[in-house]
A = this chain, B = another copy of it.
């Protein structure tokens, strides 16, 4: 029986935990509720108790069978593992990897930002399996990202590494992004951004479209489904989204030039259809070289976080 490792993905509602073989096989996964009261003081003790219970159930021992645990945190993590503020959890000035290690008999614990950790998971066992360098872009309610070079997360000196959603890509934008910027990638390519773009396009033209049935309640899924069916207005929105994603990927290629881009998040359920549009614009903005990164879909879905967290300690 080989060594095991544990991946922990701390979210605002629940904490996902996975027990893995160090070879990458997921043996078990479960969740515990995230108790945010008292500055999130219960979160790590709850996680530790749950892990102890699971190991006992399986006849495993912490120091004998577990190589270590990794922790994905929904906020910036400094190079020493400390977290200054994590709004979603109520944490302030704690070092969760140090605390969790103490709660787990001193086994090694490493932490990272959850978006970066998800990228590491996709490198280990997901869409980027077999690659050492990748850039992941997660198109959800917002746009997250992670940069992996030589199998390591580029977290950055100030925790900004992989904040792909807040690259400025659109000069003509006038509204503000949540970050305070104007023209961020997130404003046009998140689920929220795609829906907004569709509402704008509907307001700006009289063109007929199946999207008009949903009106202001139109979703990113409505847009991408309609685009696949050939709806002209939905296709225009999709081209705009693909254009700015293509710019962002091209930019990332000119800076770190990864082997592969992995596209994840709810919006990526549109699949190869979406990748083809992104690829078209990525090619347009990288005429400098024929050889460049592939673009693939993420494959681990919501489990990318526990996979990446487990990989942190290997």
Q: Using CB atoms and an 8 Å cutoff, list the residues of chain A in contact with chain B.
A: 133, 135, 147, 149, 154-164, 166-168, 170-172, 179-181, 247, 250-259, 285-289, 291-293
Closest to A259 in B: B157
Cβ contacts A to B, 14 pairs, < 8 Å: A133-B156, A147-B256, A154-B255, A157-B259, A158-B253, A158-B257, A158-B291, A160-B257, A160-B286, A163-B257, A166-B254, A167-B255, A168-B250, A252-B255
B289 touches A162 (CB 8 A): no
Partner of A254, one of B155, B164, B286: B164
Shortest beta-carbon distance from A280 to chain B in Å: 15
B157 touches A287 (CB 8 A): no
The prevalent SS among residues of A at the interface is loop
B168 touches A251 (CB 8 A): yes
Given contacts A168-B247, A171-B170, contact A254 B149 (CB under 8 A): no
Q: In whole angstroms, how far apart are the Cα atoms of A155 and B211 in the complex?
A: 45
Q: In whole angstroms, how far apart are the Cα atoms of A135 and B255 in the complex?
A: 9
Q: Which residues of B contact A258 (CB under 8 A)?
A: 156-157
Q: Which residues of B contact A161 (CB under 8 A)?
A: 255-257
Closest to A291 in B: B158
Q: A158-B293, A163-B254, A181-B286 are in contact. List 9 more A-B contacts (CB 8 A).
A: A154-B257, A156-B258, A158-B289, A158-B291, A161-B256, A163-B288, A166-B254, A251-B251, A251-B255
Closest to A154 in B: B256
Q: In whole angstroms, how far apart are the Cα atoms of A256 and B256 in the complex?
A: 8
Shortest beta-carbon distance from A286 to chain B in Å: 8
Q: Which residues of B contact A170 (CB under 8 A)?
A: 171
Q: In whole angstroms, how far apart are the Cα atoms of A157 and B292 in the complex?
A: 8
Query: Which residue, A181, A254, A286, A288, has most C-beta atoms of chain B within 10 A?
Result: A254
